[in-house]
Amino acid sequence: MEDIFQADAEEMGWQDRALCAQTDPEAFFPEKGGSTREAKRVCLTCDVRGECLEYALENDERFGIWGGLSERERRKLKKRAI
């Protein structure tokens, strides 16, 4: 059982290294029609952008900017992958 918790902790370790963790979280969850530019700019230089996007796609995150993509952009990406 301990191995499962350790695997989960390692899997989520990317979040500790994410640049968004050091930034205003509201930038990553703008109100409808709000700008995503600031969040996407942060994502461009983030070392864990790939892990973040993968997490969002695997967990069907429906809100916010994840891995540099908006909800709409992630939906399009998923449709192309099918």
Residue stretches of the annotated binding site for [4Fe-4S] cluster: 20, 43, 46, 52
Numbered residues of the known binding site = 20, 43, 46, 52
Between CA 48 and CA 34 the distance in angstroms is 24
Between CA 69 and CA 51 the distance in angstroms is 13
* In contact, 56 and 74? CB cutoff 8 Å: yes
Between CA 43 and CA 52 the distance in angstroms is 9
Q: Which residue matches tokens 């899997």?
A: 11
